[in-house]
Structure 1
Amino acid sequence: MEQNGKIIGKRERIEATFDRYSGEVSREAIIKDDILLHGLNFSERSLKGAYQEKAYYLFTFDSDRPEVVRERPAMIPQEICIQGGSYGLRRTIIQSRHSKDSPYSVDVLDGKRVLLLDGVPVADVSFVPRPAYYGQELRDGMRVEEVAPAIYWGETADVTAFRICEYWNRGKQCLFCDINENFRSWGHLRKGLGAIVPEDIVAESLEMASRDQGVKRYLITGGAILDSRREWEFYLRYIQRAEESLSRKLPSRLNTQALEPHALERFYETGVDYYHPNIEVWDRRLFSLICPGKEENIGRDEWIRRTAEAARLFGTGNVSPNFVAGIEMAYSQAFPHGFRNVEEAVRSTAEGIEILMQNEIVPKFDTWGLEPLSWFGRNGVSIPPLEYYPELYIRYKELKREYSMPWPAGLGEAGAGVSKVPASAFMDA
């Protein structure tokens, strides 16, 4: 990057961003989003020892192609924690996204794992430990973590019930998404499972996970099913079996498309606590271009209407559609549609945040990771500048205060040094 006619490195730029947003957005949030944007490289010696390995349960999230990641002799961790160091960082949990070309790397110096930025140590690093429930065998001989791996530093048992998305069959998949490619590339990690995970072993896995005191909730998620009735009946069976097994021992999160009110009532009655009908991007035109299957099958306006109905049923803070923060700035010769400056992009998404909050809906975010086997990855789109994220969070916090909204429920505690949300810094801000 050039500043006042001088080329500056990534470290100087991140420090300038710290200074620019001092008092408004935490350092932890800024460096976390920069790591999520650019990924992490890991030295071989940093990957020695015991830790929770990355599960590749839904998407890759990696900046590198799967064949590059598979060259590693050891699997990277699911998440890392950075703290201390030259920036005095509070404890910050970050999802691992592999990138050999990242300016951020994890290595071992003086017997300790450290985070390097442009080759300079800036923070101490620890890897997420294996949860206590890992290693147990299910009745069919599979290990519990093959069905219900942990995220959120062990607090959420995460089940991908349907490991692909039917929009891919029509070439209508969301342009940022690599779910089907993830299954094709990493499905071998769960040799006994196909695209559909049997309900009984999901219930058995969640019951095992629930005995671990570190597990605070479970999540049922997966790809879209084209027929609305088939979709809600499919996912409802998993919630029913899980609740029969758990007897309301753990709160439940459900991530599906925006479902009709009559279907949502069934989930509510069965025991779903938190619902995530992920809208991905707000702008009307970009929604139709980036999420063509969702636009064709349900439509943006209907998606918003159903989400508002869900909030009336589940209550304020319990319905949290996700934005893939940054995709509204996707731009390339093949996709010349994204916003070209941060102010316009944030204004667009903030409009969506405000309308949702007016309807008792509290949206959440994942920081966009440009996956090479997604449509965007194959077509050379650019990622947003780092400044987009603190600007978005400032506006989010303003609107949250204006409408007296809580943090999204079901994600754990919020705050720098406290949040365990791994794929976004909005709750670290």
Structure 2
Amino acid sequence: MVDVATLEKRPPSTIALLEEMERAYKDLPMEAIVKQDILRQGIHFLPEAFQVIGEYKSKDYFIFSFDHIPLADLKDGADTKAPEEIKIQGGYFDLLKTVISTRNNPHSPYKMKSVEGIPTLFLGDISIGQAEYPPIPSWYKHKTKNGKFPGEIAPVIEWGYLLYLTVFRNCQYFGKDEECAYCDINHNYRQQKGAGRPYTGVKDVEDILEVLSWVDQEDQVAKVYTITGGSVLTSLKKKNEVDFYLQYPEAIEKAFPKRWMGKLVAQAFEKEDCRKFKDAGIEIYHPNYEVWDKQLFEKICPGKASWIGWDTWIRRVVDSAEVFGPDKVIPNFVGGVELSEPWGFKTVKEAIDSTKQGLDFFMNKGIVPRFTAWCPEPYTTLGQQAGPPLVYFCELLRAWKETFEKYNLPTPPGYGEPGPGKAVFSVSAFMDVIGYSGRN
């Protein structure tokens, strides 16, 4: 039995710690355990790790920074050469291919080196696995009539599976009294612009359609698009929030009917507004509730709490299932933020007990929440704190998997294949644990 209380002291990642988790959580694939540890710690890319044969897709910073330090402080090429994701396999635990989002952290114990010209991830002196970097789609070589690069307009993630359309790269929840305490969408926009990078704040519909025309002609890997961005509280481009976001799926589905599965990540809307998106062609709805505990929601998501409120938000999530179908409503929560200082729970057990209540509440209704592993980004209200221990993420994956199996729910659509060695969702391991039967 794992000693959760001792592990809560956040020991550094070591092979011994991973071995302890391997023994304690036999119901979880080792790929998921290692993936969560790398996500919580980030990766230190040594300069040699960028000297690979052939081109690869670097980070597009598609919505958040997902880095542990400011962009300006990243050295040795990590600010421009770090891959969007890595795919590791083999190594000490003989991992199946595992896709993991890149989170730059020069202080991470996980170091990407080069062994005979092959990127290889190390923990201490031990190889965790050889790494691949994602390929660059052929359509990334084009440029729009307005001079925009595809990676700025319609970046692809999840190893080519998902087109991520952040159509509004700011949020009108602004400042510490309104911004979600873990979120750096506004800060990321400022630092990208400060670095002199092209980073379009509000994306033009025609630019998106132009890029998607190349995807339509040249790409067979991308299966899904996500429309998302910051919240609109008043108006944007003379449109309210619903009308602003609605214009994108309407245009995409008119030009490319049912070519890709459409997903929307936005605020929790009332049923009549949800129907507008369903009628426009959106199939999957992500009204992210972020953290289950009501008091923490009010502290960590002050803008959402004051403008909409926890009770209304949760009711709207449930109501939206009547429009899209419960299996098509997949609200995200930020895994680990319920342990954040200064407002969070003091123990892993308290945090997991709370989050399990939310999982059971939704899954009992056929709604399957998913989670993103919290990355403490430096410019956010929560800042550069240590983040949760690995045992928390193992307990969370176990709770998610057990609840999912308790209600015999279908695999969430729009995420690709489930299971170790197959999952492409890169910012948590919830898809990696689906269907895993355990080990001796």
Deviation at 1:71, TM superposition (A): 5.5
* Partner residue of 1:405 out of 387, 403, 409: 409
Instruction: Tell whether 2:32 aligns with 1:29.
Output: yes
Instruction: Tell whether 2:152 aligns with 1:142.
Output: no
Q: Could you say which residue in structure 1 is the equivalent of 2:267?
A: 257
* Partner Cα distance (1:146, 1:194) in 2: 7
Instruction: Tell whether 2:316 aligns with 1:306.
Output: yes
Deviation at 1:316, TM superposition (A): 2.7
Instruction: Tell whether 2:77 aligns with 1:72.
Output: yes
Deviation at 1:174, TM superposition (A): 0.3
* Partner residue of 1:63 out of 62, 68, 79: 68
- The change in CA–CA distance for 1:296 and 1:12 in structure 2 (over 3 A counts) is same
RMSD between aligned residues: 2.0
Deviation at 1:70, TM superposition (A): 5.9
* Partner Cα distance (2:197, 2:394) in 1: 41
TM-score by length of 2: 0.91
* Partner Cα distance (2:269, 2:281) in 1: 16
Deviation at 1:107, TM superposition (A): 0.7
* Partner Cα distance (1:320, 1:327) in 2: 19
Instruction: Tell whether 2:355 aligns with 1:349.
Output: yes
Instruction: Tell whether 2:437 aligns with 1:427.
Output: no
* Partner Cα distance (2:13, 2:191) in 1: 34
* Matched-pair contact (CA < 8 Å) for 2:227–2:263: yes
Show structure 1 runs of 5+ residues with no match: none
SS of 1:417 mapped into structure 2: coil
User: Residue deviations 1:131-150, cap 9 Å, x none?
Assistant: 23211121222222220011
Q: Could you say which residue in structure 1 is the equivalent of 2:230?
A: 223
* Partner residue of 1:248 out of 258, 269, 278: 258
Amino acid at match of 1:63: H
* Partner Cα distance (1:29, 1:154) in 2: 20
Amino acid at match of 2:212: L
* Partner Cα distance (2:333, 2:385) in 1: 18
Amino acid at match of 2:66: F
* Partner Cα distance (2:199, 2:432) in 1: 36
* Partner Cα distance (2:378, 2:142) in 1: 34
* Partner Cα distance (1:366, 1:170) in 2: 22
Amino acid at match of 1:226: L
User: Residue deviations 1:365-421, cap 9 Å, x none?
Assistant: 1011110111111xx544111111121121212211222212222111110111000
Deviation at 1:341, TM superposition (A): 1.2
Q: Could you say which residue in structure 1 is the equivalent of 2:173?
A: 167
SS of 1:56 mapped into structure 2: coil
SS of 1:253 mapped into structure 2: strand
Amino acid at match of 1:223: G
SS of 1:52 mapped into structure 2: coil
* Partner residue of 2:245 out of 211, 235, 241: 235
TM-score by length of 1: 0.93
The runs of at least 4 aligned residues of structure 1 exceeding 4 Å deviation read 188-193
Amino acid at match of 1:325: G
SS of 2:405 mapped into structure 1: helix
Amino acid at match of 2:38: I
Amino acid at match of 2:112: V
Instruction: Tell whether 2:387 aligns with 1:383.
Output: yes
Deviation at 1:260, TM superposition (A): 1.2
Q: Could you say which residue in structure 2 is the equivalent of 1:130?
A: 136
* Partner Cα distance (1:40, 1:360) in 2: 36
* Matched-pair contact (CA < 8 Å) for 2:88–2:132: yes
* Matched-pair contact (CA < 8 Å) for 1:135–1:145: no
Amino acid at match of 2:409: M
Instruction: Tell whether 2:150 aligns with 1:151.
Output: no
User: Residue deviations 1:66-85, cap 9 Å, x none?
Assistant: 11226627420000001011
Q: Could you say which residue in structure 2 is the equivalent of 1:101?
A: 107
* Partner Cα distance (1:399, 1:16) in 2: 24
